Copies of this chain bind each other. A is one copy, B any other.
Amino acid sequence: MTDHTEPIADCRLRGALDLFAHTWDPVLLAALAAGPRRRVDLRTEIGGISDKALTEALRRLIGRALISRHPGRHAPPGVEYRLTDLGAGFVDGPLRSLAAWVSEYGDELRVPGETDPPLRRS
């Protein structure tokens, strides 16, 4: 995954592809697009995400500079997470582009779920 000439497998693009690779990462980014959130609110708002998965996704996205962590220093307790400029740009660009494509052509996208058939007879 490191040194081919293939454009898409280019290292930097690979890093961006990985932002989609983990189930919850794009979901988390989209949730934060509506504004800063505390951990517990993210959890209930997203729904279906486990505590562990949430922690890992937060770590990953902080590590990649897409979100930032802000321990509340005042009255309302809790730690807030928010998008960095980079993260906001990612949501407004690639993620929004994907959402737009889905609303336009999503109907033609066959649903995963069935086992994919062998190639010989397709």
Which residues of the partner chain B approach A66 to less than 8 Å between Cβ atoms? 109
A95 CB contacts on chain B under 8 angstroms:
1, 8
In the complex, are the beta carbons of B89 and A94 less than 8 A apart? Answer: no
Within 8 A of B (CB), among A1-57: 1, 4-9, 12-13, 15-18, 20-21, 23, 26-27, 29-31, 33, 45-48, 55-56
Are B15 and A60 in contact (CB-based, < 8 A)? Answer: no
The count of chain A contact residues (Cβ–Cβ below 8 Å) is 65
A89 to B108, CA, bound (A): 11
Q: Which residue of B lies closest to A95 (CB)?
A: B1
Interface string of A77-114 (1 = CB under 8 A from B): 00000000010011101111111111101101111101
* From B6, B15, B118, contact of A46 by CB (8 A): B6
